[in-house]
Homo-oligomer: A and B are copies of this chain.
Amino acid sequence: MTAPAKIETKTLIQALTEAMDEELARDPRVFITGEDVGPRGGVFRATQGLYEKYGAERVVDSPLAELSIVAIGLGAAIADTRPICEIQFGDFIFPAFNQILSEVSRFYYRSNGAWNVPMVIRAPYGGGIGGGLYHSQSIEALFSHIPGIKVVMPSTPEDAKGLLKSAVRDPNPVLFLEPKKGYRAIKGEVPEGDYLTPIGPANVVREGSDLTLYAYGMMMHYARIAAERVAREDGIEVELVDLRTLVPLDKETVISSFKKTGKALIVYEDNKFLGYGAEIASILAEEAFEYIDGPIKRLAAPDVPGVPFSHPVQEAFMINPDKIADAIRELEAY
């Protein structure tokens, strides 16, 4: 685990804890609230050690009520504090849906720019962890359709730290979605100390000329594995775009890559119907039509109401590198 000075290999969740620790130290207006974030350090341990370090006033165990976690955060934000609200599982954000859609996302617009809401809502998302219908959901599409809130989804520890710090300092509300399956599985180099990764730009993780693979969060890692495999085994050169920020979307990068390859495969682990990938596909079909050189493909979850618990059924439900590689080959062969 030794690494060059000032760069260390960390897990995704270590990077997130570090970001919160540094922001709490930097700005006394920053506080954390959510269920079990205090002495317990969060059920995923994202806030571990912060209660001991910053005290009960800055790391606040909330009542078991998500609506209030978000609404209290909003109210506190306009009183010139900087709340980081933790929703224990993305699946449990829906009691707060009205507050996020009707309030958090509209304060700024409906007041003609008078009231901005500088708050972060963190939520772990995603399946493949034996969580069944209610501990596995991908929730990005529902929130990405709501104008007025930024939606960020890091895939690497470095981005996770840099994007979370940017989110805390953003004058606007940011929904920060964390791939829980990768909390400990995803490791990577994380610069020490203060740095910001800008909210907005996508990241071309891998250059290629044959087709463009769009992914984010946990799926970005499976996409990378698949891309490397088809390069090795089939000589297919895939360009991999990690969206990183879903709202606002980096349309320029999305479109320019497609103009280069003419073929698009969009991967997401949410249900396919009206999932986030539908917007990417629509943008390409509408704004890059001249470059289309094959069907615009979406590889996503079946349209059933949740990720099943039973192991083999869950595995059949989830996207994996094999499915992605097969989809790449099929599209390339087109």
Contact = CB atoms under 8 A, between A and B. Distances in A.
A296 B282 contact: yes
A334 to B, nearest CB: 9
Interface stretch (A4-12, A113-121, A229-237, A284-292): A284-292
Contacts of A106: 133, 305-306
A278 B282 contact: yes
Given A274-B144, A281-B282, A294 B289 contact: yes
A44 interface: no
Query: Which of under 10, 10 to 19, 20 to 34, or 35 or more describes the interface residues of A?
Result: 35 or more
A94 B294 CA distance: 39
A54 interface: no
A73 interface: no
Contacts of A298: 282, 286
Interface stretch (A15-23, A95-103, A318-326): A95-103
A207 interface: no
B296 A145 contact: no
B285 A274 contact: no
A303 interface: yes
A195 interface: no
Contact of A285 (B91, B105, B296): B296
Nearest to A140: B274
Interface in A260-297: 271, 273-279, 281-282, 284-287, 289, 292, 294-297
A72 interface: no
Contact of A279 (B109, B148, B274, B295): B274
Contact of A273 (B142, B145, B273, B284): B145
Which among A145, A279, A292 has the greatest number of chain B C-beta atoms within 10 A? Answer: A145
A281 B298 CA distance: 12
A246 to B, nearest CB: 10
Which among A98, A105, A146, A276 has the greatest number of chain B C-beta atoms within 10 A? Answer: A98
A291 to B, nearest CB: 11
A89 to B, nearest CB: 12
A78 interface: no
Nearest to A309: B110
Contact of A109 (B285, B287, B294, B306): B306
A204 interface: no
Nearest to A275: B145
Given A94-B102, A273-B279, A274-B279, 13 more contacts: A94-B97, A94-B98, A95-B98, A102-B134, A109-B133, A109-B304, A109-B305, A274-B278, A281-B282, A282-B282, A282-B298, A285-B285, A292-B292
